[in-house]
Homo-oligomer: A and B are copies of this chain.
């Protein structure tokens, strides 16, 4: 940890910080600079000690900034866990080197609509069936999902078609209910820092699919994963789904694809990319999904709808059935080609 003192901090302020660190049992190193002094703590601090010392010194007079030289996450860090984590459910293994495709409509609208979608996903080679029963919508006047009826449809369709399922849960008190019906709990971008929800999802022990918030930094994202993991649940899948866009005229969000190698380097958790929300435009889904594959992602989540024209939500980013089939064929071919290349 490095404490940077303000310009013009007095020597008594500097001494006070150094003394406070000593009282906590650590040896401070004082580094005078050109226009300000820095104080380092050359020791291995655990997470609690870091928070403890940072809280203390941040409030002392003459302190300008506290910089952690360690990363703030622990369980999610590759440092703590060198091997890739593989999250398994049904016959799916996310993070084992395969490329997992999660697909389905934005919303579960009816048994027939969802069954048709599921059959298309399965027959085209998709691995996981997605669909929303509880829909977080920006406007209270938009379609909000079928709720419990949607969950029941999802379970029935998943069993009938023989495919694993994932759906979003929006609050902590619904975790157990949703967990009964599906294989994976999705936590949406707007809920990434819904801490009571993260804790309940952690307690459930179920695989958790965690979407990055639209303005979340990498550290905030991994700390949200840490909340889930700190409850004893190691089964977290990270999802990059686009961050807030500089320019909303052409895409809905900015897909931060470099987050894939960044997350794979700093964390052992599997990383999925959502190019449907990441761009908001159906015709950019395929190029960005393939780019995600090449960049090292463990899979993608894409929206497809049996009939996007009649979708009750987000139709403009959903692939049509023929588009989805073509997408799957191209993606699987690229996946094989990459495997061949890496074998040579």
A residues near B (Cβ < 8 Å) are 1-2, 4, 7-8, 29-36, 38, 40-48, 50-51, 55-56, 58-61, 63, 67, 69-73, 77-79, 136-143, 170-174, 190-191, 193-197, 214-215, 217-220, 223, 226-227, 230, 243-244, 246-247, 249-251, 254-258, 260-262, 265-266, 278-279, 283-284, 287-288, 290-296, 308-313, 315-316, 318, 330, 333-334, 337-338, 340-341, 344
Q: List 24 A-B contacts (CB under 8 A).
A: A1-B33, A2-B38, A7-B79, A8-B79, A33-B43, A34-B44, A35-B71, A55-B313, A55-B315, A59-B309, A63-B316, A72-B139, A139-B223, A140-B223, A141-B230, A170-B194, A190-B193, A215-B215, A215-B244, A215-B246, A243-B246, A258-B284, A258-B288, A290-B294
Please, how many angstroms separate the alpha-carbon atoms of A170 and B199 in the complex?
12
- Whether A60 lies near B309 (C-beta < 8 A) is yes
Q: Which residues of B contact A171 (CB under 8 A)?
A: 171-173, 194, 196-197
CB distance from A252 to the nearest CB of B (A): 10
- Whether B142 lies near A51 (C-beta < 8 A) is yes
**Nearest 3 CB-CB pairings of A with B:** A59-B315, A31-B42, A215-B215
Q: Which residues of B contact A137 (CB under 8 A)?
A: 195
Please, how many angstroms separate the alpha-carbon atoms of A24 and B249 in the complex?
28
- Whether B258 lies near A262 (C-beta < 8 A) is no
Please, how many angstroms separate the alpha-carbon atoms of A261 and B169 in the complex?
33
Q: Which residues of B contact A194 (CB under 8 A)?
A: 170-171, 190-191, 194
CB distance from A331 to the nearest CB of B (A): 10
CB distance from A226 to the nearest CB of B (A): 6
